[in-house]
Amino acid sequence: MTTQYKLALIGFGNVGQGLAKILSDKHSFLKAKFGVDIRIVAVCDLYKGSVADAKGLDPAVLLEHIEARGDLKNFGDLNTDWDASETIANSGADILVELAYTDLETGEPAFSHVKQAMNNGMHISMTNKGPVALHFPELKRIATKNNVQIGIEGTVMSGTPALNLACEMLLPAGIIKIQGILNGTTNYILGEMEAGADYASALKQAQQLGYAEANPAGDVEGHDAAAKVVILGNLLMDLSLTLADIDCSGINNITAADIAQAAANNQRWKLIGTVEKTATGYIAAVKAMMLDYDHTLAAISGATNAITYTTELMGDITLIGPGAGRLETGYAIIEDILSIHKNCH
Ligand code: HSE
């Protein structure tokens, strides 16, 4: 039996295009193997334009338009003048894929989009960290009230299943500490600096490769990793963290001399996110740390992320994988949809 899922995409940047590429290549495979017929019925992008077709838009054609013209404004009858709210209300989609830009101060406009969609009975898949880091308890309440699911796999380590794996298989083992490299941009920059590049050109490369946030200060000052620590602590440790609870600093003060000094001691700098339960409460931090070369996290290079779950029953379990990227984050949405499918059947 096949179930059809109609997606409305808010935002059609790297992640939306990555998702379209995956659907263009893998639609038949996903349908045959997992019983999901995933169709994009609407796309709304503030700058690129809006299109909708209740029967489903061809993802390859969406990508061809972006490639050729840089926007979605040449679809004739399929173009709409819908904004995000009208897209949610009018598209007939049953899953909102929220890919608007991340705002770690208010969570907007994504927070409003997902609230509206859930109150309209739509499931959510979001890679946007803002609403999840700032408003997760409220989102869960609204989801429960409306009997809908929220998928957030892409908020931490892109499509590497850090959250689903932990929720489904590691929580029973008793997670007592989580520590990881949770930001690809900074890991990439530190690696390039170790290889001799200067900070500014390494950051520029990370931006060109699509790893960095729209405002890369969020990466290099540690706020992006801090948002992920909040998400991990709240989802997996039943904490009620806010960004203000994270003892946070970044890599923007690390110099070539610091890198050389670490290397002289067989160490390298890594930006490490930690959340740990203690006898009196918790530790939650993002800090640049010098790790010995033989530390598990010291070997993680480029934009790759890694996370170590310390559990009562199993000791340490480390997951290594992509933490950013077009296809890698687009894939997280496929995982969310498969989870929604599993939980609703
Ligand atoms: N800017 C983020 C990073 C993207 O570099 O890891 C993924 O959250």
Under 8 Å between Cβ of 324 and 184: yes
Counting from 1 in the atom list of ligand 1, the atom nearest the Cα of 129 is: 8
* DSSP output for 109-168: THHHHHHHHHHTT-EEEE--HHHHHHHHHHHHHHHHHHT--EE-GGGTTTTS-HHHHIII
45 membership: H or E segment, kind and range: strand 36-45
What separation in angstroms does the CA of 72 have from each of 79, 96, 97, 108? 8, 19, 18, 24
Instruction: Compute the distance from residue 55 Cα to the ligand 1 centre, in Å.
Output: 33
The CATH number fitting domain 3-159+326-344, selected from 3.40.630.30, 3.30.830.10, 1.10.3720.10, 3.40.50.720 = 3.40.50.720
Please give the pLDDT value at position 116. Answer: 98
Q: Cβ–Cβ contacts within 10 Å for residue 92, how many? A: 11
> Does the domain spanning 163-322 belong to CATH 3.30.360.10?
yes
Give me the pLDDT at residue 317, please: 98
pLDDT of residue 211: 87
Of 48, 228, 270, 277, the catalytic one is 228
CA of 4 from ligand 1 middle (Å) equals: 31
Can you state the percent helix, strand and coil of the chain, rounding each to 5? Answer: 45, 25, 30
User: How far does the centroid of ligand 1 lie from the alpha carbon of residue 136, in Å?
Assistant: 19
Which residue has its alpha carbon closest to ligand 1 atom 7?
324
pLDDT in tens, the chain (345 residues): 899 999 999 999 999 999 999 999 999 999 999 999 999 999 999 999 999 999 999 999 999 999 999 999 999 999 999 999 999 999 999 999 999 888 999 999 999 999 999 999 999 999 999 999 999 999 999 999 999 999 999 999 999 999 999 999 999 999 999 999 999 999 999 999 999 999 999 999 999 988 888 889 999 999 999 999 999 999 999 999 999 999 999 999 999 999 999 999 999 999 999 999 999 999 999 999 999 999 999 999 999 999 999 999 999 999 999 998 899 999 999 999 999 999 987
Q: Note if 177 is an active site residue.
A: no
Tell me the residue type at 61. Answer: V
Q: Which residue is closest in CA terms to ligand 1's atom 8?
A: 324
Closest atom of ligand 1 to CA, residue 156: 8
pLDDT at 189: 97
Atom of ligand 1 nearest to the CA of 188: 5
DSSP 74: -
Residues within a 6 A CB radius of ligand 1: 183-185, 211-213, 219, 224, 323-324
Break the chain into its structural domains and give their ranges: 3-159+326-344, 163-322
Q: What is the pTM of this model?
A: 0.95
